[in-house]
Structure 1
Amino acid sequence: MNLLLSAGFVLCWSSGFIGAKLGAGSASAVTILMWRFLPLAVVLAVLAWVRRAAWRRLSRRAAARQVAIGVLSQSGYLLTVYYAIQLGVSSGTTALIDGVQPLVAGALAGPLLRQYVSRVQWLGLCLGTGGVVIVTLADASADAGAGAGAGAGAAWWAYLIPFLGMFSLVGATFLEKRSRDRVDAVVALTVHCATSAVVFTALAVSTGAARPPAELSFWVAIAWLVTLPTFGGYGLYWLILKRSGTTWVNTLMFLMAPVTAVWGSLMFGEPFGAQTAVGLAIGLAAVVVVHRGDASSSTVRARNVDGARGVPRGQKALGRCPSASWQQGSRDS
Structure 2
Amino acid sequence: MTSRTAGILPILAPLLFVVLWSTGFVGSRMGAPYSEPMTFLTLRFGSVLLLLLSISLIQRARWPNPRQGFHAFVSGFLIHGIYLSGVFWAIDDGMPAGLFALMTGLQPVLTAFFAHLVLKEQITKNHALGFVLGLIGISMVLLPRLSGGAFSVTPIQVLVSLVAVIAISFGTVYQKHFAANLDIRTATIWQYIAAALFCGGLSLLTESQTIIWSGEFIFALVWLVLVLSIGAIFLLLWLIEKGAVSNTASLFYLVPAVTATISFLLFGEPITPMQVAGMIVTALGVILASRRKS
| Both structures adopt the same fold (TM-score exceeding 0.5) | yes
- Structure-1-length-normalised TM-score: 0.79
Question: Could you say which residue in structure 2 is the equivalent of 1:39?
Answer: 47
Asked whether the 8 Å contact 1:92–1:264 carries over to 2, the reply is: no
Q: Secondary structure at the match of 1:117?
A: coil
Question: Could you say which residue in structure 2 is the equivalent of 1:6?
Answer: 14
Asked whether the 8 Å contact 2:34–2:213 carries over to 1, the reply is: no
| Structure 1 residues 53-64: aligned runs within 5 Å | 54-55=62-63, 58-64=64-70
Asked whether the 8 Å contact 1:254–1:283 carries over to 2, the reply is: yes
| Structure 1 residues 256-295: aligned runs within 5 Å | 256-268=255-267, 270=269, 272-291=271-290, 293-294=291-292
- Report the number of matched residues: 285
Equivalent-residue separation in structure 1 for 2:96 and 2:268 (angstroms): 11
- 1:155-214: CA deviations, max 9, x gaps? 254355332211110111111122276421111111112222222223223334323212
Instruction: Evaluate the alpha carbon distance shift between residue 155 and residue 272 of structure 1 in structure 2; reply closer, same or farther with a 3 A threshold.
Output: farther
Instruction: Evaluate the alpha carbon distance shift between residue 30 and residue 2 of structure 1 in structure 2; reply closer, same or farther with a 3 A threshold.
Output: same
Structure 1 residues 177-186 or 109-118, which shifts more? 177-186
Question: Could you say which residue in structure 2 is the equivalent of 1:21?
Answer: 29
Shift of 1:279: 1.8
Q: Secondary structure at the match of 1:209?
A: coil
Equivalent-residue separation in structure 2 for 1:154 and 1:17 (angstroms): 20
After superposition, the CA RMSD in angstroms is 2.1
Q: Which amino acid aligns with 1:15?
A: T
Aligned pair 1:114/2:93, yes or no? no
Structure 1 residues 116-125 or 131-140, which shifts more? 131-140
Q: Which amino acid aligns with 2:116?
A: G
Equivalent-residue separation in structure 2 for 1:204 and 1:90 (angstroms): 22
Equivalent-residue separation in structure 2 for 1:246 and 1:263 (angstroms): 26
Question: Could you say which residue in structure 2 is the equivalent of 1:209?
Answer: 208
Instruction: Evaluate the alpha carbon distance shift between residue 84 and residue 279 of structure 1 in structure 2; reply closer, same or farther with a 3 A threshold.
Output: farther
Question: Could you say which residue in structure 2 is the equivalent of 1:81?
Answer: 87
The structure whose RCO (Cα within 8 Å, separation 6+) is larger is 2
Asked whether the 8 Å contact 1:93–1:257 carries over to 2, the reply is: no
Q: Which amino acid aligns with 2:260?
A: A
Asked whether the 8 Å contact 1:24–1:85 carries over to 2, the reply is: no
Q: Secondary structure at the match of 1:36?
A: helix
Question: Could you say which residue in structure 2 is the equivalent of 1:307?
Answer: none
Q: Which has the larger radius of gyration?
A: 1
Question: Could you say which residue in structure 2 is the equivalent of 1:321?
Answer: none
Unaligned 5+ residue runs, structure 2?
A: 1-8
Asked whether the 8 Å contact 2:103–2:162 carries over to 1, the reply is: yes
Shift of 1:107: 2.6
Equivalent-residue separation in structure 2 for 1:249 and 1:33 (angstroms): 25
Asked whether the 8 Å contact 1:12–1:228 carries over to 2, the reply is: yes
Asked whether the 8 Å contact 1:87–1:154 carries over to 2, the reply is: no
